[in-house]
Chains A and B, each alone.
Chain A
């Protein structure tokens, strides 16, 4: 079933690069290293590569399905499972998207509360942030993609700040190479995948590309750039921290910033965290945009109303997570769901969809 979007709301295929990359880079970057290094220590960079490669395969599967369908996940579900069961799956996907936005925002607020303002009230910050989010999403997908683009370009300077810790690098930390079992790599692969999550939103915004088939190339490049960025960060982290130190550092990326010193600025992590408010903006906007878009397609309501409802729910739910453990739980639930979604559900859907479309063709 083809989903057609009016010409003036379409975006150029090459912007897929920024959309996928900006969605993958989120709060996780600030501290993903530890979770991977717990299992694989100095070999963590291998995990980064393997994880990235696996994601490429999933992207390929999604494009296969979407190209055939020329629609979004809702139309795929409809062809595969029919209207009602498909609708239920789409609804679950919508809930997942919403949870994703909430998680990103709540985790970022936690970073703020840990590193900058211990007394920051969660709901006031959420409120102000969501007003910005609403304003951007109300501008349509084009302005959401604009935020994705600027959310990559504006904080790009931060990449160079990670060169500063190299002054204290110890390259021997990387040796010996490949000193871990496949099992350990597999375990860390699981946690690494969480950092790559976000590309599955393609299932929603695919019809918004001009000549969507041509966007696949850029989508892969975007993911490749994410792999590069994680690899870059992982290398620097591994040579900067000793393995034991890294296992005890929750926010490894943030802690690395502490080493930067200019004649006029110290404690660079403050600037980094503030810039991160711009980095996670695409995450939140895109997630809520996608959720409201799904609601619109599913329930035939206006997207504005759906969006408002989603934002109000966020505003209520967000302050309910108070403790570190609760936020951790939220994070692990959402990422577990995401993990099973991309490595379990999408391949499954891919095969069923393949079979069903064969069957329907024959009929």
Chain B
């Protein structure tokens, strides 16, 4: 039984061995003070702990104290998160999360762990992707604690529940699922908790990892969870009964279940008065359909159905296209790809260079290609407008999806003209009908048709007309507020 002996021997010195192992890392500090009343060893990762806590609270205390027992030290230390343990796994885990280990003898198997982690987080800044002129200007940051604070301080109610998971065998990322008990649907909560809990992956770098792993159909170009960097948006949907998922290290919260139309509503819609907000939403939806359809229609009409165009308009088109060697499809494809190229280059380059590229690409290449007779200026206008229109979508991932589905439409338009566009539309329709978000229909309130939810879909009607929570979320508590006071009718001069 040689191996057994070895094992038990190892057990005796294992804490010491762990520390020896840690010492291989340059940022690990194992520090001994023999001069204090009771000599002690203190070890920690210099890169993980907050030196101020160490210098201000712990070292002065240890240098003066004459406590010789770990338990007494635990009680006496002026810090709340103190553990006494000999469990190696706990010691390792806590030290790697930023705790100090205090021992009285170098080869002790027990130690006091003091939490002194460094919380170096970015300051809360202005939202950049979902900027709004009116309304709060706070955005989520990378630290989960800060983000949870941003949410909790907006919802100071006991029903706000936060369930935490640790996901990623290597990254050990904290993931928080947030919902309001009694408002969020039980089934939705269970779906979210189960899907997040079931994730098996080695590394979670961002909330979009989680989004890809828990969405209902990961073969769809359409995002099935909204990601937002605005705490006010997250809180707004929490109050309606949605579930929000926050991931440590990611400044984007995930919102689900959600529907297609919600991707086209900006938070600002709720800050402006309802007429303006409704008009803006309609413009946005128009922009999206314009962005998807306009180039395919151009290709379809010029390829097959030039009879559709009245002769005055046809003259303009013909004169702009008369010297173009490429067929409409190739012409459109080249221009669309150029725009994508510009966008991609602009996104990858540093901000200052990116601007220059934008100008070079947009103005110089555009003008030059028209003058060289490679593209018609009508198409240039159309493609540029379509690209512009695709950026009106408030959620970035949705605008990506929209740019992507333009290409199948283009190909179908080349194949069968307008009928091809209708076929592509049928595919899109079938796909959207089949999509779900946390098991809830994605195309709601269009299908299944729900008039009540249409009040806050393509238009946004005044708040007092929406006393109920959206049906789509199946909230057990359907009433947002009592609409009685708002509904009082007044006669003239009363």
Contact = CB atoms under 8 A, between A and B. Distances in A.
A147 B433 contact: yes
Given A146-B447, A274-B419, A136 B310 contact: no
Interface string A256-290: 00000111111100110111111001000000000
A132 interface: yes
A215 to B, nearest CB: 14
A112 B419 CA distance: 9
Given A132-B423, A267-B305, A139 B310 contact: no
Nearest to A262: B310
Nearest to B425: A278
B427 interface: yes
Contact of B416 (A125, A142, A267): A125
Contact of A270 (B305, B310, B425, B443): B305
Given A117-B416, A274-B418, A281-B426, A264 B309 contact: yes
Interface string B319-334: 0000000000000000
A275 B446 CA distance: 19
A153 B308 CA distance: 24
A278 B426 contact: yes
Interface in B441-465: 443, 446-449
B429 interface: yes
Contacts of A281: 426, 429
Interface string B138-174: 0000000000000000000000000000000000000
A275 B430 CA distance: 16
Contacts of A264: 309-310, 313
A138 B433 CA distance: 11
Nearest to A124: B415
Contacts of A214: none
A12 interface: yes
Interface string A145-168: 011011001100000000000000
A138 B429 CA distance: 14
Contact of A146 (B425, B427, B433): B433
A282 to B, nearest CB: 10
A277 B309 contact: no
Given A146-B443, A273-B419, A274-B418, A116 B309 contact: no
A147 B305 contact: no
Contact of B427 (A135, A143, A154, A274): A135
B288 interface: no
A149 B446 CA distance: 9
Given A139-B434, A143-B434, A278-B425, A263 B419 contact: no
Nearest to A18: B449
B419 A266 contact: no
B422 A275 contact: yes
Interface residues of B, number: 27
A274 B421 contact: yes
A129 interface: yes
Contact of B426 (A116, A262, A277): A277
B286 interface: no
A150 B308 contact: no
B470 interface: no
Contacts of B308: 265-267, 270-271
Contacts of B307: 266-267, 270
A278 B422 CA distance: 6
A290 B380 CA distance: 47
Contacts of B448: 11-12, 15, 146
Contacts of B394: none
Nearest to B306: A267
A139 B310 CA distance: 42
Nearest to B450: A12
Interface string A116-147: 11001000010011001001101100110011
Given A116-B304, A266-B309, A266-B310, A128 B423 contact: yes
A307 to B, nearest CB: 14
Contacts of B310: 261-266
B431 interface: yes
Going nearest first, the 8 A-B pairs with the smallest beta carbon separation are A274-B418, A277-B422, A139-B434, A146-B433, A136-B430, A143-B433, A146-B447, A274-B422
13 contacts: A116-B304, A117-B419, A132-B423, A143-B434, A147-B426, A149-B447, A150-B446, A266-B309, A273-B419, A275-B422, A276-B422, A278-B422, A281-B426
Interface of A: 11-12, 15, 112, 116-117, 120, 125, 128-129, 132, 135-136, 138-139, 142-143, 146-147, 149-150, 153-154, 261-267, 270-271, 273-278, 281
Given A139-B434, A153-B446, A263-B310, 11 more contacts: A117-B416, A117-B417, A146-B443, A146-B447, A147-B433, A264-B309, A266-B308, A270-B308, A274-B419, A274-B422, A275-B422
Interface of B: 304-305, 307-310, 313, 416-419, 421-423, 425-427, 429-431, 433-434, 443, 446-449
